Amino acid sequence: MTAGLLLAFVLGYFALLLGVAWWTSRRADDAAFFVGSRTSPWWLVAFGMIGTSLSGVTFVSVPGAVSLTQFGYLQVVLGQVLGYGLIACVLLPLYHRMGLSSIYGYLDQRLGAQAGRTGALAFVASRTLGATARLYLVVAVLQDMILAAWGVPFWLTAAVILLMILLYTVEGGVRTIVYTDTLQTAGMLLGLLVCTAFLLQRLGLSPLEGLAQMQARGLATVFGTDPLSARWFPKQIIAGVFIAVAMTGMDQEMMQKSLSVRRLADAQKNLLVLAVVMLVVVSVFLYLGGLLALYAPTVDLHVAGDRLFPAVVLGHLPVAVQVLFVMALVSALFPSADGALTALTSSTCIDLLRLPLRADLDGAARTRIRRCIHAGYSVLFMLLVLGFKALDDPSMIGLTLKIATYTYGPLLGLFGFGVLTRRRLRGGGVMAVALAAPALCWLIDAQQQRLFGGWQIGLELLLLNGLLTFAGLWAISRPDAR
């Protein structure tokens, strides 16, 4: 298949996104940008959040990792399902009762302005690094599949894609991405199912026969049974719980969409439906990864990791499937980047610059500042994508989760301290605690062989990070005198 034809499909898809953005951004104001005017249908939000939660990393990296870690990633997802239940029962009622536009307003009201700003800065670091890591992977695949053949440099591919995202999010914000994410999620899931069906056909297997062969090859192992290993199932499930709580319940991008739903009960339904659907969809991604591992030796393909899925599709499946794969990959790309760009802009405007409280600025001035911040984050995304290009990690799913254990730990500690205690902070020191906890975790991680012998710390480093933050906040706080 020619690169020109693939590019034509990508441009056509982008034109469709621009049409949706134009329709949804008509008469959009700051309330529409930040929380969709709180009129988003819950079922639409739930479906669109699947694409945001999964992203291009899941689409490419999870199937590619099966040959190395089998179905072990499902342990984390099972923990995430439990974490979504905690968010729906504990955090969502809190956010809706307070009528927040940014969830870090809770930290501001409960622990003071410094805690609110620290939470917002932790989110900015977390989401910026996580979103650009995901963005890099999909840009790299599109570069290899389409534009490298024309001699287009990687930086130009990344710049054009970021410009596309900027164009359709700059006005409508959340109101727009609720609808575009729904379209993109549908495209990603369609690509997943079609690629799975074609691989089964090429292998001459029924779905159950495919699973049986994976089990015979040792590819379908879910639960780690070695207590010393980082993949021991209690560690992975506990890590999954706190990954969901921190990366969804304490993440402005994810909660911004739930806050755009008017009724709390509907927002809770949105999250619980998302949890069930996520479990099913990730299971299918892992099943697809098993099929890729079975199929690659039959065509003498010696590729592993993130490059396996694209190599099989583009080298050995029909043209129609190749087109669908590209469209699904693009669909997986946009939800993680457009939502991050919008949420980062919202948090910066509301939590860091306090634009809604600026009486010296009229509506037009606030809108101009919001647009400049939106464009500024696009430039930052570009620089970080180039940084990940230089790093070129072979498995981005592992890298993004590792980043999360360091950057979301302070958020976990801050929110945990606010919800579980009635203590008050005694002034400064919040930022110092939020920096010290991840730094200490990095030292522990680097020296864990010396400290713990054969015991390995994996993704549960996130929980340790949160506990250290919690302990630091306790040390600089006092009992509430009221």
pLDDT tens, residue by residue, 176-216: 666 666 766 777 788 888 889 999 999 999 999 999 999 99
**347 vs 331, which has greater pLDDT?**
347
Max mean pLDDT among 181-190, 347-356, 450-459 falls in: 347-356
pLDDT of residue 262: 76
pLDDT of residue 393: 65
Confidence of residue 70 (pLDDT cuts 50, 70, 90): confident
Any residues with CB less than 8 A from the CB of 10 and at least 6 apart, and which? 142, 146, 326, 327, 330
Average pLDDT over residues 237-252: 86
CA distances from 185 to 178, 182, 330 (A): 11, 5, 10
Q: Using CA atoms in the order 175, 179, 184, 186, what is the torsion angle rounded to 10 degrees? A: 150
With contact defined as beta carbons under 8 Å apart, do 71 and 222 qualify? yes
pLDDT of residue 209: 93
**Is the whole-model pTM more than 0.85?**
no
Q: What is the total residue count of the chain?
A: 482
With contact defined as beta carbons under 8 Å apart, do 50 and 274 qualify? yes
* pLDDT tens string 294-308: 998 888 888 777 778
Least confident among 117-131, 173-187, 313-327: 173-187
Degrees, nearest 5: CA angle 163-165-168? 105
Collapsed DSSP state (helix, strand, coil) of residue 148? helix
Collapsed DSSP state (helix, strand, coil) of residue 40? coil
> Is 244 exposed, middle or buried (CB count within 10 Å of its CB: 0-12, 13-18, 19+)?
buried
Q: Which two tokens stand for residue 154?
A: 């990687």
The domain locations on the chain are: 3-395
pLDDT of residue 37: 46
Confidence of residue 336 (pLDDT cuts 50, 70, 90): low
CATH 1.20.1730.10 fits 3-395, yes or no: yes
**393 vs 190, which has greater pLDDT?**
190
Q: Is the pLDDT of residue 348 over 90?
A: no
**320 vs 421, which has greater pLDDT?**
421
Q: Is the pLDDT of residue 239 over 80?
A: yes
Q: Which two tokens stand for residue 396?
A: 């981005």
